[in-house]
Each structure stands twice: as structure tokens, then as C-alpha cells.
Amino acid sequence: MIEQIESFLKEAEKYKITSALELEEFRLKYLSKKGLLNTLFEEFKTVTLEKKKDFGKKLNDLKTYTSDKYQNFKESLDSTSEGLKTDLSLTGEAIKLGTRHPVSIIRNEVVSIFERLGFTVSEGPEIEDDWHVFSALNFPLEHPARDMQDTFFIQKTPDILLRTHTSSVQVRVMENTQPPIRMIMPGRVFRNEAISARSHCMFHQVEGLFIAEKVSFADLKQTLLFFAKEMFGSETEIRLRPSFFPFTEPSAEMDISCNCKGKGCNLCKYTGWLEILGCGMVDPNVLDFCGIDSTKYTGFAFGMGIERIALLKYQVKDIRIYFENDVRFLNQFKPSI
């Protein structure tokens, strides 16, 4: 039996290992559960006492040599570009990294800017009722937005519809939260409009709401100025033009300065300004409808289209491309590694 172990040792010394496959064959032959060493250790139990010392010494020599040889060669293979570092379970094709949609990129950037001002995110249902989309926001019954030309109604039911703006989330927040309220509401909205390069029947908005004691229009202006500079650059200027919205009074539309710096270009239609959002002080009627004391609290609201900002920031001229899932277009927004 001792002679047999010695022959195994000589055989192991002559065993040539030049690849990961041969190394694995060596392990299976000598060191695995069904290998020679395991078999010999089982036979060791049946050896007589007078032979156990010599048998055990030879057996340990064989174990030490084969283990060291395996470990040394394994380490040398690990230090090279081939060998055991290869994961045979990996796919044969390179894994391509995806990218975020440009609308998602802008949405996350807008949310991040307002979060730094203390705003929190609130979301609501896309299928809404008339109260949250129109009535609670001070829309008169005869307002054109209630007409079928602008709104998608569900199964011709006048009270159930696809929300036309995320202002419906503002109503839900005001109904269930007492001031101070400082929230933004990003989400998808729907309008029954003709699809063109500048408009779509489905798009995304971010609306904001701030209600507390002694909130003024100056607070609104400073908030939007901070947003514009963070989103479009520190040299960006804003201007507010008087406008009308049923749920705010006074109301305004906000423009930002164009990159042409007033020289005029096709993007700004040679005016030097680009419209990006609507805003205003929350109408007292809206506060009262939602159970907030309008004699104690004031607030401001604003709303912007995410696609509109993405069009301006990425100099894209057709809004439809954001909904076509063209991989060639989306790959342009792949992050650099």
C-alpha cells in the first residue's frame, strides 16, 4: 500500500498543467470527494497499527504536495488574462447598457432642484373626477376646457375623465393636509389635441404648490428664478407676463432668456425669450373649496411641461420623437462611463 502511494506521488510530480482545464482535471483526480486522496484516507482506517505511522506519513506527503501544486498553479492562472478568471456562465454577447429617457432625465432634474428648496413629491391618479380636475380649481361650468374638444372622458361619463393637468393632485393634497404645504406634483396628463411637432395628446407636467402664512408674489418670483438658473444656467434671466388661469389670481406666464442673448434666433422666434411655465397666487376660492382658511393663508402655484423644457434644453424641434422609442435617438442620452 505504501508503494502505491509513492507511485501516486511520482505521478503527481510528472503531471503537467498548462491550462485551466488541466488544472481542474488534476483537482478532480487527486483532491475532489471522489479523488485518490479521499479513497486513500478511507483505506487508512483499515491499516494495522504497526503500519499506520508510515502509511500516514506517506499519505500526508501526497496530500501536501498535490494541494500545494494545485494552489500555486491556480494563483499563477489568476494573475493572467486567461484561465480561472473566465466565467463560463456569462452570455456570449456583450451586455449593452441602457439609458434613461430624456423626459425622465428632465423630470428627475426638476424634482432635485425643488427638493433643495424643501419641496416634497406627491402623486395622484391619472383617472380623475370633475371635482378634482375642474370644479375645485374654480373652473366655471361653461369653461372651454370642459368641452370634449380638450378632455378625454371615460365612457362618455361627464364626471370621470383623464386628468388634463396635475393640479388635481394639488386639490387632493389641500383636502388632506393643513398648511404649511410645500409640494411638487410630477405626472402624466392627457388632452384631446391634434398631434404635431409642438403638441401631443399625452405629455408630462410638474406642478408646484406652496401655502403658508404671508406667502407673497415675491416668494413665487424668487423660487422660479432659482429654478431657472439651476436648470438653464446661472446667467439665465426670467420675465413674468400677466396672464389668466381660473385657479390663480394674479396669474402670470414665465419666460426665460434665450441662448442667443437677445440677438434673435429660430428657437425664440427672434424675440430673445422662451416661455416655459404658468404660475400665480392661489385663488382664495380654491383654498376655501379645499377646506383651507383663505383669510389666514396664502400661497402660490406653478406648472410646467417636462417635454417643453426637454425641447429647449436638448434643442429638439419635434415633441413626437419623445414618444417614438427610436433607439438611435435614446442612445444619445447614454451616460458616459
Report pLDDT digits (tens) over 177-190.
999 999 999 999 99
pLDDT surpassing 80 at residue 77: no
pTM for the model = 0.67
Mapped onto helix, strand or coil, the DSSP state of residue 305 is strand
pLDDT of amino acid 21: 82
* DSSP code for 145: G
pLDDT surpassing 80 at residue 310: yes
Which among 155, 110, 162 is positioned nearest to 133, based on CA atoms? 162
- Cα separation, 174 vs 181, whole angstroms: 8
Report pLDDT digits (tens) over 228-243.
999 998 889 999 999 9
pLDDT of amino acid 84: 45
pLDDT of amino acid 281: 96
- Residue labelled with grid coordinates 456562465: 89
β-pair partners for 274:
256
pLDDT of amino acid 239: 93
- Cα separation, 165 vs 310, whole angstroms: 18
- Cα separation, 321 vs 305, whole angstroms: 16
- Residue labelled with grid coordinates 420675465: 239
Report pLDDT digits (tens) over 158-210.
788 899 999 999 999 999 999 999 999 999 999 888 888 777 888 999 999 99
Q: What is the mean pLDDT of residues 6-12?
A: 76
Which homologous superfamily is 102-333 in? Answer: Bira Bifunctional Protein; Domain 2 (3.30.930.10)
Q: At what angle are helices 217-232 and 306-314 packed, to 10 degrees?
A: 40
